[in-house]
Amino acid sequence: MTTIAERPTIDRTATTTARGEIATPAETTREKATREKATRFVLAGLRLALGWTFLWAFLDKMFGLGHETTTAQAWVNGGSPTKGFLGHAVAGPFADLYRSFAGAAWADWLFMLGLAAIGTALVLGIGTRIAAVAGALLLVMMWTAVLPPENNPFMDDHLIYAGVLAVLALTAAGDTLGLGRYWARLPLVRRLPVLK
């Protein structure tokens, strides 16, 4: 009777180095493409979520949709989008500065235009660099209005959102689920890449 020797099995997922260490395999092209695609969609989702956050704040303050702003306090009904928060809720070392322009027409206009422009740009995926920088600046200002934060010595959601916006500014986050690729082809945007 003939004995058949078993063939050694080869583990194709790992290799051994000259010193006998197990080396992990390099990422395949397909795995890399899948990871990059997933990353693009996660960034697009974050961009859309933050864009909606800014747009919702604008819509609620403009029309008094009843979430944070009543109809009577709506900007279209003569209310001030900055008077309530800046006039009563600010605390910390910058409280007097913010109270000094609470309810001022220029502050209301800048705040509302900022919310609308940042939110619209992020949702559409156009001008994400400028929108992200402006949004991060607005969020950091809102953070300074309530120092120290209620639940932490220094960190709160405003700083986290600002950090996410920085990531969006550094990536092509407007290209996926947005109009970023079309926006980037415009002659003005080609001349001034900061507008991407």
Residue 16 included in any domain? no
Residue 132 included in any domain? yes
Contact 169, 122 (CB under 8 A): no
Residue 18 included in any domain? no
Instruction: Name the helix (H) or strand (E) containing 178.
Output: none
Helix axes 105-124, 29-63, angle to 10 degrees: 150
Pair of tokens at residue 12: 């194709």
**pLDDT by 10s per residue, the chain, length 196:** 555 555 555 445 555 556 767 666 677 888 999 999 999 999 999 999 999 999 999 999 999 998 889 999 999 999 999 998 999 899 999 999 999 999 999 999 999 999 999 999 999 999 999 999 999 999 999 999 999 988 889 999 999 999 999 999 999 999 999 999 999 999 999 999 999 9
Residue type at 23? A
Residue 21 included in any domain? no
Q: What is the full DSSP assignment across 29-50?
A: HHHHHHHHHHHHHHHHHHHHHH
Number of domains within the chain: 1
User: 161 Cβ partners below 8 Å, 6+ apart?
Assistant: 50, 53, 135, 136, 139
